[in-house]
Amino acid sequence: MRLQTTVLAAAIAALCACSAQREEADTPSQAVEDAVPVADAPIDQPPYDVPPATIIGDTTGSLRVDGPAEGTITFEGFGPAKFGATAEAVRQAWGGDLGDAQPSEPGGCYYLIPQPLGSEGYRTAFMVEGDRFARIDVRDASVTAPGGAKVGMTGDEVRALYPGRVEEQPHKYDPEGKVLRVAAGAGGDAALVLELDKDGRVDEWRVGVPPQVDYVEGCS
């Protein structure tokens, strides 16, 4: 009887051991649970902080935005492109498309004009003659002439800006218009020439060196 009891106890112990082994096999270990990866971040978002984007500014050295930058037109020229410089120097100073105009003959007169050209024609133009930069023509009211004059000003406003330096001349084509010529001063040869319409207001101006600054018809 004691032997049967002993055998029965051994069988029960063996059965319990098998059940324990089966439970261990069916239950993941803590190490395996720890190794399970968390959900991946969205593919368009890196799993780390990213600094904000940096806006890269204009590195071309251009002196214009939609027109000449404030203060770049002087009695000496356009920024680093002084009167007497090459056409290439003007192109570099402008930093944009000035067209592909060429003189009709070697050394002839022509204009470098910002592109695209609007339906009303140019607003700013750079005259080249004898292969040298000689003058700037402006019809844009947002562009300031050296000394402060602008398209739209009255003759009296112009005279107030350049006291004692304004020479008045008749307009070659408009009997009701006038031309005001302002010397650069300080012994310089350059001049500012402003054309007034019949209402006595500036409708265009030019600055440059003689004789080109006094050409009434431009390159015509």
Of 157, 185, 175, the residue nearest 194 (C-alpha)? 157
Cα 160 → chain centroid? 34
Backbone angles phi, psi at 171, to 5 degrees: -80, 135
Do 30 and 90 fall within a single domain? Answer: no
Residue 194: inside a domain, yes or no?
yes
Q: Is pLDDT above 70 for 60?
A: no
Residue 138: inside a domain, yes or no?
yes
Q: Is pLDDT above 80 for 7?
A: no
The CATH number assigned to the domain holding 94 equals 2.60.460
**CA atoms of 59 and 21, how far apart (whole Å):** 73
Provide the domain count of the chain. 2
Count of C-beta atoms within a 10 Å radius of residue 88: 10
**Residue 31 is part of which domain span?**
2-35
Do 194 and 99 fall within a single domain? Answer: yes
Cα 2 → chain centroid? 105
What is the pLDDT at residue 65?
A: 45
Q: How confident is the model at residue 66 (pLDDT cuts 50, 70, 90)?
A: low
Do 199 and 93 fall within a single domain? Answer: yes
Indicate the average pLDDT of the chain.
Answer: 80
Q: Is pLDDT above 70 for 87?
A: yes
List, for residues 103-116, the tens digit of each pLDDT value.
999 999 999 999 99
Residue 154: inside a domain, yes or no?
yes
Parallel, antiparallel, or unpaired: how do β-strands 132-138 and 73-74 relate? unpaired
What is the pLDDT at residue 208?
A: 98
Residue 57: inside a domain, yes or no?
no
Residue 25: inside a domain, yes or no?
yes
